[in-house]
Chains A and B, each alone.
Chain A
Amino acid sequence: MQTFTYYPGCTLRTKAKDLDAYARASAEALGIGLIEPENWQCCGGAYTSATNEPATKLSAVRTLMAAKETEGLVTVCSACHNVIKQTNYDISRNEAMAVKVQRYLGLDEAYTGETKVYHYLELLRDVVGFDNLKAKVVNPLKGKKIAAYYGCLLLRPSKALAMDDPENPSIMEDFIKAIGGTPVIYAQRNECCGGYITLEDKAQAVKRSSAVMESAESMGADMIITACPLCLYNLKKNSGGSLPVYYFTELLAEALGLKEVSNE
């Protein structure tokens, strides 16, 4: 069994338990070991791109270092994935930052980006393989038209995240095909839902998430899937739309027979 370090992040322990629980159960069924490091800290939610602020990078570096002994670091939440991958990318190219972080953390040697980071979708594509996943599906989502919502944080900036084509991605659509569904392509699939602006400017979050929802509806989707708790929140609470919104791990577990079939 291949073993990876698994970083859930703050929200998967609280409001997004489904995203977490079905990710763990599905990994086990697919023969992937996930080990949660002790005493992990919140990633911060947003990456601070400043070249001269080591403090905002420390949590991500601690997490990256915790994964050194395994085959890589797996994240599920889009925000954790974004913060940790951007930290990993920048620290491998900014020696002064790496040295400052080394001093803050009291490390014997500087961490310079050695850990390989996988989003859970990348784990499915690159380690498990979508063909192997397809072979393990016992409950295919036949006839379901599913709109994959990438949002902003899964793909951008692409030079750091290196996950997929940032303007014409296919990883979630290929995932949908592997679990037996029919992917729906729509214009707003990689545009922002409004994110954290919902806290102090609800109207803007409503505007953004409505645009995403209407775009998916107009292309005939039955449902939307996401990897991000904040996207799920905005699409459910702020979009005013009618489509159900699920975490991609819920459909994965359903397809693998690990979850009761939802009858929406």
Chain B
Amino acid sequence: MNKNEKDWIDITSGVNVRKCMRCGKCSATCPSYDEMEYHPHQFVYMVEKGDIEPLLNSVSLYKCLTCFACVERCPRGVEPAKVIEAVRLTAVRKQGNNHLLPDQIPDMLDDDLPQQAIVTAFRKYTK
């Protein structure tokens, strides 16, 4: 475990993961639950334990829709989406770790796709 990495994630998220009481409501309400390898409650728990490496390499980072359902519905105000965001930023801010490249975009477009989708994906997936 990299202590610095855990500290950095705690600072970046601004979340106190120790407030979690393990009720699982975040994962129960997550619209991406079925697509995720690690679920919102596991992000919170694993960051608390310092078990960061599996999260940094997981596809789950790119399945969070940033819909804030878990943030709104957590009875302890833990805000799991901010933890996922902090882990994702730790991953994509490393050199060569962009999840989405501009060259990939043309094949993803259709005539009706709003610009909003592209700028949002870049903000979530790249530096």
Residues of A within 8 A of B (CB): 9-11, 14-16, 42, 44-53, 56, 77, 79, 151-153, 155-158, 166-167, 191-192, 194-201, 204, 208, 228-230, 232-233, 236-237
Residues of B within 8 A of A198 (CB): 113, 117
Residue from A45, A166, A191 in contact with B116 in the complex, judged by beta carbons closer than 8 Å: A45
| A52 contacts B32, C-beta separation under 8 Å | no
CA gap between A49 and B115 in the complex, in Å: 21
CA gap between A182 and B51 in the complex, in Å: 51
Residues of A within 8 A of B63 (CB): 197, 201, 204
B17 at the binding interface (Cβ < 8 Å): no
| A208 contacts B116, C-beta separation under 8 Å | no
| B123 contacts A156, C-beta separation under 8 Å | no
| A15 contacts B124, C-beta separation under 8 Å | no
CA gap between A192 and B52 in the complex, in Å: 27
| B65 contacts A44, C-beta separation under 8 Å | no
Decide: A233 near B31, CB < 8 A? Known: A50-B12, A152-B69: no
B47 at the binding interface (Cβ < 8 Å): no
B16 at the binding interface (Cβ < 8 Å): no
- Chain A: CB-nearest residue to B105: A199
| B114 contacts A15, C-beta separation under 8 Å | yes
- Chain B: CB-nearest residue to A202: B108
Decide: A230 near B117, CB < 8 A? Known: A49-B85, A192-B65, A201-B35: yes
CA gap between A10 and B100 in the complex, in Å: 20
* 1/0 contact string of B87-127 vs chain A (CB within 8 Å): 00100000000001000000010101111111111111000
Number of A-B contacts (CB under 8 A): 138
Residues of A within 8 A of B13 (CB): 49-51
22 contacts between A and B (CB under 8 A): A44-B119, A44-B123, A49-B14, A51-B11, A53-B89, A77-B116, A152-B66, A153-B68, A156-B67, A191-B69, A194-B31, A195-B66, A196-B121, A196-B124, A199-B117, A199-B118, A199-B121, A200-B108, A204-B35, A208-B31, A232-B114, A233-B113
B20 at the binding interface (Cβ < 8 Å): no
- Chain A: CB-nearest residue to B12: A50
Decide: A156 near B65, CB < 8 A? Known: A14-B114, A52-B11, A198-B117: no
Residue from A46, A191, A229 in contact with B123 in the complex, judged by beta carbons closer than 8 Å: A46
CA gap between A16 and B65 in the complex, in Å: 21
Residue from A15, A53, A191 in contact with B113 in the complex, judged by beta carbons closer than 8 Å: A15
| A196 contacts B117, C-beta separation under 8 Å | yes
B37 at the binding interface (Cβ < 8 Å): no
CA gap between A241 and B21 in the complex, in Å: 39
| A200 contacts B100, C-beta separation under 8 Å | yes
- Chain A: CB-nearest residue to B73: A167
Nearest-CB distance from A188 to chain B (Å)? Answer: 10
Residues of B within 8 A of A166 (CB): 72
Residues of B within 8 A of A11 (CB): 114-116
CA gap between A33 and B59 in the complex, in Å: 46
Residues of A within 8 A of B68 (CB): 152-153, 156-157
- Chain A: CB-nearest residue to B81: A49
- Chain A: CB-nearest residue to B35: A204
Residue from B65, B72, B79 in contact with A197 in the complex, judged by beta carbons closer than 8 Å: B65
Residue from A45, A151, A167, A237 in contact with B120 in the complex, judged by beta carbons closer than 8 Å: A45
Nearest-CB distance from A62 to chain B (Å)? Answer: 16
Residues of B within 8 A of A42 (CB): 115, 119
Nearest-CB distance from A230 to chain B (Å)? Answer: 5
CA gap between A233 and B66 in the complex, in Å: 18
Residues of B within 8 A of A200 (CB): 62, 100, 108, 121
- Chain A: CB-nearest residue to B90: A50
